[in-house]
Chain A
Amino acid sequence: MKRTLACLLLLTLCLSGYAQKKFTISGTATDEESGEALIGATIYAKSQQAGTVTNNYGFFSLTLPETDSLPLVITFLGFKPQVKRIRLHENITLNVRLVPGELSLDEVVINATPPNENVERVQMAVVDVPIQKISELPVILGETDILKVVQLLPGVQSGNEGTTGFYVRGGNADQNLVQLDEATVYNPNHLLSLFSTFNSRALNSATLIKGGFPAQYGGRLSSILDITMKEGNNQAFHADGGIGLITSTLTLEGPLKKEKASFIISGRRTYLDLLAKPFLPKGNKSNYHFYDLNAKVNWQLSDKDRLFLSIFRGRDQAEYRASQGINYKILFGNATGTLRWNHTFGPKLFANTSLIYNQYDQDVSAILDNYFSQTITGINDINGKTGFQYFPNPRHAIQFGAEYIHHKFVSGGKSESQKTIDQNINKEKIPTRYFNEFALYLNDEIKISERFSTSLGLRAPGYASNTVSYYRLEPRASVKLSTGKASSVKAAYSVMNQFLHLVPSATGTIPTDVWVPSTERTRPQFSQQYALGYFRNFSDNSVESSLELYYKDMKNQVLFPEGNQLIESFAVDTSLVYGKGWSYGAELFLKKNTGKFTGWLAYTLSWTFQQFDALNFGEKFPFRYDRRHVLSLVGSYAMNPRWTLSSVFVFNTGSAFTLPVGRFPAFYGPSLFEGNYYVYERRNNQRLPAYHRLDISAVRRSQAHLFGKEFQTEWVIGVYNIYSRLNPYFIYLQVDPVTDQPQGKQVSLLPAIPSISFNFKF
């Protein structure tokens, strides 16, 4: 009887709680000066111990019990916090404008400051890429680059020396979905991957997700890099430019209609071809250049509707002709266009609908050691998607939506004894293939108690071509348990499928990788990932730390078979071999966000293996980028408002490559079989020397007034690889034709390289 009474009492308490009237505060958070949406700003009601963050469009929705006085704290890194005191007796629209500035919080605000988002959010394995830090960090030839910063994050490995390719938790480069304003960018690099295609001046935010993927994300196994372009200043016209050693950039932005519509256009072009021309040896010819162009227009149609149109185009063209050594001709480029419509149905329901077009083409031909190789890939996508965010009450944040992609696809390649780099595959012969991807998803982030939250989701992707179709279910789950005011334990499980494959070449020193879609033979890539993490902040959240453990297994991985030689092949997948991979490791992240000294330490200890029945005698072998230790140290010290000093130190275990361990002669001389043959112990049995370098830079800022306008200038002086460590770009073997003696040769690309660049903004 006592138990029944207790239950009734509890029920009454619960009902009374739910019977209390609740209202919703919704709106946007923007930059006071530019009108840009602030993505990931925190809105927190300390008295209710409840909060939320703005979405990719700066929108938020928070439902709370009726009250006469509710202090709301709105914070965003790099902006002065604001406290709004509101009477909550009806649904309220609250559009907040934050002013850029130091985090000099007064006592009231400090007391109200919520625990940092990294501890509080349910999701783990998420890193907000510090866009605002990009311009301060030392980089090659002064070219600021978001992907170079991504490579410095825990769980992320770079590819070869100086490149922007990245590998996340043992996944291949194709397993990263790189999106710019929701449009897929298939190759986010310029030639040699020294620079990414993203002009950092045109970017607003970037988030890297490595695991525990919410259901709205899919299509790749290892990571999502979600990049959002700036919208353009809707208050005043501004120009922002930079003159570097090999490129120049100019960004223009301003209002089309003040506070209602704005534009931004940003372009970059290299002049490396012009600079190098007089110095090339006689008979050698190179015309390498690239450019990229970003543009975006946004229009506030009404209080509830907003329209965005963004376009991006990046293109590389390179040709190098020499009488000896490698000759190559490379053409590739990406183009994307995104039309988005944001609609707020009410204070609790936000919708985003997008129509996206993207195009990628690559045509690479090369001659090396009297052999010719060419690969061609062309992808055209039309993508439509709609997503909803529904906030029924403070305990639920529901996302659901649908997505459809129509792919038009061509790919082929060949490799044979020498012809000329102009004697190409007859592109008209390459058959065009069409196929479709689609997905439905539902995800609910549930706050079960003050300490315990979870995110549960289900994604149902599908794939259909005229010969085969695949349907999959991808459960996603994350849980968070707060273990203190500034600490939490999180766990996550996610299943991912990927219907496109990039077949990496094990031997190529130039980009000869080929994209292939799923077919009956080439089944979709599949992964399961388990992750566990401990998150803790120190010193009033000014220092963040986390330790994450993960295990990921990957199925239906593809590689070229031993001895593969593409003979003008347009059905590349008929010559592939299939296997599996698995990766496990630990990632430590320490980050200091505020104060004169900021920066982070990222250390990853990991193991990654693959196993293919048709390779390496069927035994497991290390993944090419199985690097045991990856350490990044990044620091910036603001000496005063004018000078900032920065430094980056990187250490990686050398990547793996295959080296024969022995030789023996064939006795059938003198026939075509004559020669020395190689004995291989196992694939990827050797390691390149460890990679390490130290970069430094100094930024000097100044302000002046010209014609009544504020004019900001910035000189960035830096040295990349200051102690000129000759890190290996690749190693190859050369056999002396007279002595028959093999010799290892190491090619290093980037010695110490000083740089200087000048940036301006008015």
Chain B
Amino acid sequence: MKRTPWIRLLAVLLLMGCEKDIQIDVPADLTSTVCIEGLLYPGESPRIYISKSVPFFDKKVTPQQVFARSATVGITSDAETEVLFADSTFDKFRCRWVPFYHGTTAAEFGKTYTLTVVFEGKTYTASTTIDQKKAVIEDIIYTPEFTDLYGGHDGVNVRFRDASGPGNFYRFQMYRMIDRTVAHAHVLDVIVSDCTGDEEFPITDLGRTIYADTGNDGATLDMLAEVSFEYSQGDSTWVSLQSLDPKSATFYKELDDQLISILNPFVEPVFLKSYIDGGAIGVFGSVVLSDSVLFVYPQDNPL
């Protein structure tokens, strides 16, 4: 009988185990990976985001801290090259500056552009041709509840007609004015920015799911779209669809897969591939936007 408490303690030991923080040594000789993201929109001047990855456990990982400041960036089309310059914009929601390389010449539909980045002695190049077909939004329907691989959501159902011809890829884009009282879907966004005061500021929400027209060429399709921000009845948003080039579609699909694998412990890790010559992670692609449609939320966010 005297042994009983000791026996019970052992049983609990087995159940509870032991957990400790550990130091994991990432190889010291590892070279940073260059990350390049740039999408050209017809009628808009180019913005290219270039960064350098930091060691996994490094604390410096904000856009300002990882920005590739000394890069030489050029975009060539029709034998003319425009050299981009470093610029930045203030992200009021996050209360931080976001640097990028900016051009002044608006991209044009039908043209092919080649990006060249020279950074720390290495050259990275990629090309894109803006020739995607524009989608036509036919209707937007409010969806109080739907389920996809991200779980159960409310959101909007964008009904659109696929442009004829195979190889079309789409994702949604929503433009809204919000203030700091509006919460973001990510858990970490309970931290509300103090930068904005009470004023409203614009945000552009992008869909994570890439829709392909495989097997549905020219058909009317429904795109169920989860949104990033809370809303109330009467809030309005401009909805449009992005037609992506195949490389961009593949990259953003991978990016989304990796995000799922980071969040969901039951999902296998996803390695991001290089779609830029020279070995940089990222993509240089293009987008053709559909005409935007104003949508007014018919009810408060139910979740």
**Residues of A in contact with B (beta carbons under 8 Å apart):** 141, 194, 245-246, 272, 275-276, 278-280, 286, 288, 366, 368-369, 371, 373, 415-418, 505-509, 512, 560-567, 615-617, 658-681, 683, 686, 726, 729, 731-732, 737-751, 753-756
Contact = CB atoms under 8 A, between A and B. Distances in A.
A672 B268 contact: no
Contact of A670 (B8, B15, B94, B270): B94
Given A279-B12, A748-B20, A661 B205 contact: no
Contacts of B149: 416, 565, 567
Given A659-B56, A664-B54, A732 B265 contact: yes
Interface string B249-288: 0001011111111111111111111000000010000000
A678 B268 contact: no
Interface stretch (B21-29, B76-84, B113-121): B21-29
A755 B9 CA distance: 12
A741 B152 CA distance: 28
A563 B30 contact: no
B15 A560 contact: no
Contacts of B162: none
A673 B188 CA distance: 13
Given A665-B66, A667-B63, A745 B20 contact: yes
Contacts of B1: none
Contacts of B27: 661, 681
Given A664-B35, A673-B255, A561 B268 contact: yes
Given A368-B266, A664-B35, 7 more contacts: A279-B8, A371-B265, A417-B152, A660-B56, A663-B53, A670-B228, A744-B24
B181 interface: no
A746 B19 CA distance: 6
Given A659-B26, A738-B191, A748-B20, A373 B11 contact: no
30 contacts: A141-B14, A245-B10, A246-B11, A369-B265, A417-B152, A508-B266, A512-B266, A560-B268, A565-B264, A566-B266, A615-B271, A661-B56, A662-B53, A663-B56, A664-B281, A666-B37, A669-B98, A670-B94, A670-B228, A672-B206, A672-B208, A675-B259, A677-B259, A677-B272, A743-B21, A743-B57, A744-B21, A744-B57, A746-B20, A753-B10
A564 B63 contact: no
Contact of A737 (B57, B187, B266): B187
Contact of B255 (A275, A286, A666, A670): A666
A758 to B, nearest CB: 11
A246 B265 CA distance: 31
B20 A669 contact: no
Nearest to A566: B266
A507 B267 contact: yes
A562 B257 contact: yes
A751 B14 CA distance: 9
Contact of A286 (B15, B23, B186): B15
B49 interface: yes
Tell me what chain B mostly uses at the interface: helix, strand, loop, or mixed.
mixed
Contact of B62 (A563, A665, A673, A751): A665
A100 B263 CA distance: 60
Nearest to A732: B265
Contacts of A737: 187-188
B61 interface: yes
- Among A286, A371, A567, chain B packs the most CB atoms within 10 A around the CB of A371
B87 to A, nearest CB: 13
A742 B57 contact: yes
B11 A276 contact: yes
B61 A676 contact: yes
A644 B110 CA distance: 86
Contacts of A749: 14, 17-18
B266 A658 contact: no
Interface of B: 3, 7-15, 17-24, 26-27, 30, 32-33, 35, 37, 49, 51-59, 61-63, 66, 91, 93-94, 98, 100, 147, 149-152, 184-189, 191, 203-208, 226, 228, 252, 254-273, 281
Contacts of A288: 15
A729 B18 CA distance: 10
Contacts of A756: 3
B255 A665 contact: no
B151 A417 contact: yes
Contact of B266 (A272, A505, A663, A754): A505
A565 B228 contact: no
Contacts of A416: 147, 149-151
Contacts of A744: 21-24, 57
- Among A509, A659, A739, chain B packs the most CB atoms within 10 A around the CB of A659
A677 B255 contact: yes
Nearest to B23: A744
B271 A617 contact: yes
A671 B228 contact: yes
Given A280-B15, A672-B205, A737-B188, A562 B268 contact: yes
B263 A371 contact: yes
Contacts of A732: 265
B171 to A, nearest CB: 10
A664 B61 contact: yes
B8 A747 contact: no
A728 B185 CA distance: 35
A670 B93 contact: yes
Contacts of B94: 669-670
Contacts of A742: 56-57
A679 B53 CA distance: 8
B100 A667 contact: yes
A418 B271 contact: no
Nearest to B30: A661
Contact of A679 (B9, B33, B37, B147): B33
A726 B18 contact: yes
Contacts of A667: 37, 49, 51, 63, 98, 100
Contact of B268 (A564, A663, A665): A564
Nearest to B253: A563
Contacts of B271: 562, 615-617, 680, 683
Nearest to A565: B267
Nearest to B3: A756
Contacts of A674: 186
Given A415-B264, A506-B269, A665-B62, A276 B206 contact: no
A278 B12 CA distance: 9
B281 A731 contact: no
Nearest to A194: B14
A616 B187 CA distance: 30
B18 A751 contact: yes
Nearest to B206: A671
Nearest to A288: B15
B267 A563 contact: yes
Contacts of A745: 19-22
Contacts of B189: 670
Nearest to B184: A670
Contact of B33 (A560, A562, A662, A748): A662
A286 B147 CA distance: 31
Contacts of B12: 275-276, 279-280
Given A416-B149, A506-B269, A679-B272, A663 B61 contact: yes
- Among A246, A662, A750, chain B packs the most CB atoms within 10 A around the CB of A662
Contacts of B272: 677-680
B22 A670 contact: no
B266 A415 contact: yes
A675 B188 CA distance: 10
Given A416-B149, A673-B256, A753-B10, A506 B268 contact: yes
A-B residue pairs, 10 tightest by C-beta: A417-B151, A563-B257, A662-B53, A373-B266, A275-B11, A279-B12, A667-B49, A563-B270, A744-B24, A415-B266
A598 B271 CA distance: 50
Contact of B30 (A566, A681, A741): A681
Nearest to A680: B271
Contacts of B185: 672
Contacts of A679: 33, 53, 56, 272, 281
